[in-house]
């Protein structure tokens, strides 16, 4: 049991370290801090709540207004999802099933007004998650400053500053994580950097975080006789009950229509998943991706062209030399 508790803690800590959240921002003019059940602020940067069935748990956060005027804040819960970079992020609408969404455990948004240079504790009550299997509900408590206004000539611009702290909610004590991974789709397209890519849609159907994960991919022609692309990606993470549209690198070269095969091996801890899937790049898809890609690299090998050109020039010069020598000898014979 201690081994699996340690594994769970490792997963949560890796999640916290790799997630993009900020607890203070001088431009925002406010900061947030985690508060424990005894009202004491904590240095930990995530909440870990055990909420047994039929009970409720409390998330308390301290909001400090560091400006010289009263400000309003919205406090809400966000759901976890996985972006195309293989990072866990938080948003109002997650891709998970409803039972796995943190926002389903608390209905509504709290609005609080905090005076200049003042702090206030805000509590959110969450219900016990109703999961169909063991695991966690992952999300974040979000604080948004809603009354920051800039006046620029005739336009009024609303600046919304957000800060988040990850939240883990469990309905039972730490149990053995049972990880799983599925390959749902493979298609050609563009990466988040607007480069040509082969996008593999991986699904985490469990209530656990998969992290860190390494993916090794090889894309060949459909008959497996020629390797077209290879890619290795490390330190990936996948949120519970979410998908990641992982862009496999093509070196930002032009996509060619045809039939292909993806061979992929994904590993995380003691788990290994091996996938194989055929897919097709249509002429329309290739043309669209190639036309929209930024700084598309040419597939022409200029080194080979240069070498071939030099060889051709040498051959031509040799032929001319032979012809000239032949004519001179013939003239001498006459």
**3-state SS, residue 1:** coil
Q: What percent of the chain has pLDDT over 90?
A: 60
Phi, psi of 308 (to 5 degrees): -60, -40
Structure confidence by residue, pLDDT tens digits, 196-237: 999 999 999 999 999 999 999 999 999 889 999 999 999 999
Q: What is the mean pLDDT of residues 227-254?
A: 96
Indicate the pTM of the whole model.
0.78
- pLDDT surpasses 60 at 271: yes
Q: Which of 217, 90, 73 is nearest to 145 (CA)?
A: 73
**Please, what CATH class does the domain formed by 182-292 belong to?**
mainly beta
Q: How confident is the model at residue 306 (pLDDT cuts 50, 70, 90)?
A: confident
**Are the beta carbons of 280 and 246 closer than 8 angstroms?**
no
Q: For residue 165, give both structure tokens.
A: 């702290």
Q: How confident is the model at residue 76 (pLDDT cuts 50, 70, 90)?
A: very high
267 or 298, higher pLDDT:
267
pLDDT for the residue numbered 21: 39
Q: Where are the domains of the chain?
A: 2-170, 182-292, 301-334
When mean pLDDT is compared across 52-56, 68-72, 173-177, 250-254, the lowest value belongs to 173-177
DSSP per residue over 176-245, as a string? ------EEEEEEEEE-TTS-EEEEEEEEE-SBS-EEEEEEEEEEEETTSSSEEEEEEEEEEEE-TTEEEE
2-170 and 182-292 share one fold = yes
pLDDT for the residue numbered 122: 96
- pLDDT surpasses 80 at 292: yes
Which CATH architecture fits 2-170? Sandwich (2.60)
């Amino acid at each position: 049991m201690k081994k699996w508790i340690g594994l769970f803690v490792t997963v949560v800590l890796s999640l916290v370290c790799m997630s993009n959240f900020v607890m203070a921002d001088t431009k925002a003019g406010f900061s947030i801090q985690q508060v424990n059940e005894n009202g004491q602020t904590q240095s930990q940067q995530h909440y870990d709540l055990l909420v047994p069935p039929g009970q409720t748990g409390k998330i308390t956060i301290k909001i400090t207004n560091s400006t010289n005027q009263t400000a309003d804040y919205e406090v809400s819960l966000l759901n976890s999802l996985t972006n195309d970079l293989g990072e866990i992020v938080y948003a109002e609408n997650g891709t998970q099933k409803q039972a796995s969404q943190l926002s389903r455990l608390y209905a509504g948004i709290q609005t609080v007004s905090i005076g200049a240079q003042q702090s206030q504790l805000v509590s959110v009550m969450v219900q016990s998650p109703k999961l169909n299997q063991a695991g966690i509900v992952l999300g974040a408590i979000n604080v948004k400053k809603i009354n920051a206004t800039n006046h620029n000539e005739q336009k009024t611009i609303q600046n919304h500053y957000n800060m988040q702290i990850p939240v883990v909610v469990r309905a039972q004590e730490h149990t053995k994580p049972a990880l799983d991974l599925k390959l749902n789709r493979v298609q050609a397209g563009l990466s988040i950097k607007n480069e040509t890519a082969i996008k593999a849609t991986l699904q985490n159907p469990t209530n656990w975080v998969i992290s860190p994960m390494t993916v090794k991919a090889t894309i060949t022609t459909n008959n497996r006789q020629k390797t077209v692309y290879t890619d290795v990606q490390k330190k990936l993470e996948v949120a519970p009950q979410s998908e990641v549209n992982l862009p496999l690198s093509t070196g930002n070269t032009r996509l060619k229509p045809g039939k292909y095969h993806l061979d992929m091996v994904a590993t995380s801890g003691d788990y290994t998943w091996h996938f194989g899937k055929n897919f097709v790049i249509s002429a329309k898809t290739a043309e669209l991706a190639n036309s929209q890609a930024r700084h598309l690299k040419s597939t022409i090998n200029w080194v080979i062209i240069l070498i071939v050109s030099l060889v051709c020039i040498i051959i031509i010069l040799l032929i001319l030399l032979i012809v000239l020598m032949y004519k001179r000898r013939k003239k001498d014979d006459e």
